[in-house]
Structure 1
């Protein structure tokens, strides 16, 4: 199951959600609820850091896609931290077209700097 840690680093209003563990069917629903709650509470600039995710299936990808869709509806933005040298999760998300469908950054400083 995925665990999410939420922080607001100093800077231009970005909220960082660090996800760790397995982003599968069991972990997707709680993460989706957390992300939706953030958006509905007024957070419009989200960075989701999946650097510590050991496994991600289609349900995890769907959570990210839905979050991007909801943010877009509210005029928000989503960035994702996905290190380039990253095993199964990187390969899975790349095969699903993640790297072309999302704003992907190699690390958190790069995502915050842009």
Structure 2
């Protein structure tokens, strides 16, 4: 899983396109979009929960964030943790470890 956005010119940060999550077939190197956030939101930091066979990621509008959970193919998406602070960021690089860490026993 990767978080990617479309290319754009170097414009004001609030006008930059936000990323979605893509699943990459390593055999064919073909990406498949598995999330569709609204135009003012972006999906970041995908992580796989191995013992639960779930995918989690952070969706933010640059002001607040939610942690989402779904099947690895993107189906059955729902908010898992609501209204968390997205922490500090610098040119679209968020420091997610400042406020969210996934513990897997």
Task: Flag whether TM exceeds 0.5 (same fold).
Answer: no
Structure (1 or 2) with the greater helix fraction: 1
If the length of structure 2 is used for normalisation, what is the TM-score? 0.26
Q: Which has the higher contact order (CA 8 A, sep 6+)?
A: 1
Q: Which one has a bigger Cα radius of gyration?
A: 2
TM-score when scaled to structure 1?
0.25
